[in-house]
């Protein structure tokens, strides 16, 4: 028996044993192996399908998140714009109210000044009148000592003063 050239009997039995092993494997082993391979293949395909579905879900979630972010930014911009407009309106209103209040205070001050001026005028006129009467009285006393004509003049002045007729 040589290792390089096998004998015909050895070759026959090797083929027979190979055939028997092949038939046993074909009957019992290959279906189990193919079933396991198919099951593994199905599992891999299902995993790939699930991964693709998960990727699509993530993309949808990312799109939804981007939309929500954009909507939030738009709402923030709207709120800021509204707040700015409201602030400007409040400032404008406060400015107008302050201007109106300042005008009222100024008008009231002018009226008070005018009233004080009128009061001062009346007081001054009253004082001037009182001084004039006092001066006239002193002058008239000096000149009227016992003269009847002067007494008549004095009565005339008193009557005119009582009646409101001053010359």
In a domain, 145, yes or no: yes
Domain count along the chain: 1
State pLDDT tens for residues 15-34. 999 999 999 988 998 889 88
State pLDDT tens for residues 88-114. 999 999 999 999 999 999 999 999 999
| Torsion angle (degrees, nearest 10) of CA 9, 15, 17, 23 | -160
In a domain, 13, yes or no: yes
| Mean of all residue pLDDT scores within the chain | 87
In a domain, 167, yes or no: no
In a domain, 30, yes or no: yes
Q: Which residues of 24-53 are buried (b: 16+ CB within 10 A; e: fewer)?
A: eeeeeeeeeeeeeeeeeeeeeeeeeeeeee
In a domain, 98, yes or no: yes
Predicted model pTM: 0.42
In a domain, 1, yes or no: no
What residue numbers bound the domain in which 71 lies?
A: 8-162
Q: Is the distance from CB of 58 to CB of 50 less than 8 angstroms?
A: no
Both structure tokens of 85: 């407009």
Range scoring the smallest mean pLDDT among 1-5, 117-121, 135-139, 151-155: 1-5
Helix then strand count (H, E) for the chain reads 3, 0
In a domain, 132, yes or no: yes
Both structure tokens of 105: 């205070």
pLDDT score for 146: 59
In a domain, 118, yes or no: yes
């Amino acid at each position: 028996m040589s290792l390089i050239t096998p004998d015909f009997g050895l070759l026959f039995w090797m083929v027979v044993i190979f055939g028997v092993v092949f038939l046993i494997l074909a009957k019992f082993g290959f279906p189990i192996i193919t079933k396991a391979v198919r099951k593994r293949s199905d599992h891999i395909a299902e995993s790939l399908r699930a991964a693709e579905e998960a990727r699509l879900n993530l993309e949808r979630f990312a799109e939804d998140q981007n939309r929500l972010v954009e909507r939030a930014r738009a709402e923030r911009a709207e709120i800021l714009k509204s707040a700015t407009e409201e602030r400007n309106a409040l400032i404008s209103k406060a400015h107008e109210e302050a201007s109106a209040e300042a005008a009222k205070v100024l008008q009231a001050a002018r009226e008070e000044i005018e009233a004080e001026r009128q009061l001062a005028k009346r007081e001054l006129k009253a004082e001037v009148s009182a001084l004039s009467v006092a001066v006239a009285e002193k002058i008239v006393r000096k000149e009227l000592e016992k003269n009847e004509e002067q007494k008549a003049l004095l009565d005339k002045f008193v009557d005119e003063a009582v009646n409101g007729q001053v010359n």
